[in-house]
Structure 1
Amino acid sequence: MTLLLRWLSRWPLAWLHALGAALGWATWALSPSYRRRLAANAALAGIGDAERRRSVAEAGRMAAEAPWLWFMPPGERLGDRVRWQGQAVIEDGLAAGRGVLLLTPHLGSFEVAARAAAERYEVPITVLYRPARKPWLRRLEETARARPNMATAPATLSGVRQMLRALKRGEMVGLLPDQVPPEGQGVWAPFFGRPAYTMTLAARLAQQTGAAIGLAWCERLPRGAGYSIHLAPVDGPLPDDDMAAASLINAAMERAIRALPSQYLWGYNRYKSPRKPRPGD
């Protein structure tokens, strides 16, 4: 499998996106549960048929561009392929000597955003991730994400400590606050009008470190033309109450998603019940 992914990584990005669009539609056609969840989640947010159809292909494009990103030669940079909008969110926080907490939903090319930020600002960024279940894929992810100024933090207590230390050093941290946390690590807060189990981690990281907090989402441009990274402040300050803070962050996630609804992963099971925590969580 690794050899196949390496071979695909040599394809032009436009070709990978074309392949990904086909894979996205194949997944949609072969999985009735995925179809139903995607349609239900999009309808809940008031997303029309045209944007919903585009999201099917975009989900496949996100998966297909992963080999290109993971196996990019160490000396190659994303700079020429990325446009920036609203970068004062990062620059002002770093200039003030504060850590910067970047929040993005499952929207666009979120992995590209973290890599591009590490390159542009030459400041370490620590990204929260959930290790893959398959050992070969977990090893591949860990190797591929080992880049200059990039660190990964597992979704465990040790990973939380790692992110706290990074923010206190004035570095950047990125996480997906619409990822469903284990039981006991979130609250049921509204998301597009329906209760969704929402992590309290994002707000607590900002509150305990005084870090600047902002939204970040990476738009995939047509025909392999590259990416546009959008940044915006989170309306704050964050309340001390967990429910109020989670609700404010969910509202911010909704704004980002509505700005680019065709590239949100509507098939993600956002409203599932949380799993029981495992040892180390």
Structure 2
Amino acid sequence: MSKLNYFIIAGLLRVVGWLSLGNAQKIGKWIGLLTWKLPTKSRQVTDTNLSICLPDLSDTDRSAMSKASMIQTGQTMMEVPLMWEWPVQKCLNLIKETKGLELIDEAMSSGKGLILLAPHLGNWELVGLFFSSRYKMAALYSPPNMPEFEDYMIKVRGRLGSELVRGDRRGLIRLTSILREGGVAGILPDQSPRGKGNAYAPFFGMEVRTMTLVSKLMQKTGANALITYAERLPDASGFRIVVKRTEPGLGEKDPVVATTALNRSIEHCVLDIPEQYQWEYKRMRHRPPGEANPYKPDQVC
């Protein structure tokens, strides 16, 4: 059954991969609108996150932001097959503008490794392609539930030689080695981590479980860190790659200081284009013990 599911999904990805960017975004827009209008869990989570993270918005503005976010998420969902199925150069041709690339050159000139943080903002798959086309790069990933799909994912994401490493002990050893060699490591920093490598730090004012991996890698390897995203431009005209400095304290030994700096770095990027952030993710579900679960107020963490 698992193999059958894989062939169905792989077939759908290939079919969507025949679309143009404009048509994919149009379909994604309607998927997002439908998901927003219906009483879906995604709509509920989005509204909850926006009420926590952007409390100064009026009810009207928050509803508009929720709608825009769902549309953008629908477009992201439809763009992913393009990033996986299109020829690499065709994907890279979608990048019409860049901002802050001199920060990459500055960081790499030191001879140290570079950790590139790419939150779930805009099109993060395009970010990976762009930077793996320029640098020796490894990216941390969590294996999907479908084993057959893992091979496909590694193949399409590694088309330019980018190395995908699992988020286990062996993978982290490999990531450390690459950074010590002066390479680049890509990490999605705004996931709720599992295991012991975490601390509680504020994210838009709410204490949530946050990964300590970034600070530990910086301490072990002396690597620099920057944060980046691919902003979706209007009217299917392409994307803008943006690179920014991270907040001071990201490499500190104190895990709360380091994770607070990490979350603030993400916040600053999100506030640049809040409608393109994946508010549909339950980022606040892991809170300090005894605190209420915002998605299930009758339950405590």
Q: Which runs of 5+ in 1 are unaligned?
A: 275-281
- Asked if structure 1 preserves the Cα contact closer than 8 Å seen for 2:112 and 2:223, the reply is yes
Q: What TM-score do you get using the length of structure 2 for normalisation? A: 0.85
Q: Partner letter of residue 55 of structure 1?
A: S
Structure with larger RCO (C-alpha < 8 A, sep 6+): 1
Q: 1:30 Cα shift? A: 4.6
Matched-pair contact (CA < 8 Å) for 1:17–1:223? no
- Kindly tell me the number of residue pairs found equivalent between the two proteins: 272
Match of 1:272 in 2: 285
2:112 counterpart residue number: 98
CA deviations 1:259-278 (Å, max 9, x no partner) are 1101001010101239xxxx
Post-superposition CA distance 1:232-277 (Å, at most 9, x none): 1113243210111001111111111001101001010101239xxx
Contact 1:166 1:172 in 2 (8 A): yes
Which stretch shows the higher mean deviation, 190-199 or 23-32? 23-32
Structure 1 contact 187–197 (Cα < 8 Å) conserved? yes
CA contact (8 A) 1:82 1:227 kept: yes
Q: Distance in 2 between matches of 1:166 and 1:83?
A: 29
Give the letter aligned to residue 282 of structure 2: N
**Alignment partner, residue 129 of structure 2:** 115
Aligned to 1:195: 207
The DSSP-based 3-state class of the residue aligned with 1:65 is helix
Change (3 A) 1:135 1:26: farther
Q: Which entry has the higher C-alpha Rg, 1 or 2?
A: 2
Which residue identity is paired with 2:269? A
Residue identity in the other structure for 2:166: P
Q: Do residues 211 (structure 1) and 219 (structure 2) align?
A: no
TM-score, structure 1 normalization: 0.91
Greater shift in the superposed pair: 258-267 or 75-84: 75-84
| Aligned twin of 1:257 | 270
Contact 1:79 1:116 in 2 (8 A): no
**Aligned positions of 1:123-272 closer than 5 A:** 123-237=135-249, 238-272=251-285
Secondary structure, aligned partner of 2:98: strand
CA distance in 2, matches of 1:26, 1:162: 43
Range that drifts further, 210-219 or 70-79: 70-79
Secondary structure at the aligned position of 1:177 is classed as: coil
1:31 & 1:134 partners in 2: Cα distance? 28
| Structure 2 gap ranges (5+) | 1-7, 288-301
CA distance in 1, matches of 2:245, 2:206: 24
| Deviation per residue, 1:187-226 (Å, 9 max, x gap) | 1111011111000001111121111111111101122211
Q: CA deviation at 1:88?
A: 1.7
Query: Aligned-pair RMSD on alpha carbons?
Result: 1.8
Question: Mean Cα displacement is larger for which, 110-119 or 127-136?
Answer: 127-136
Indicate conservation of the 8 Å contact 2:43/2:66, yes or no: no
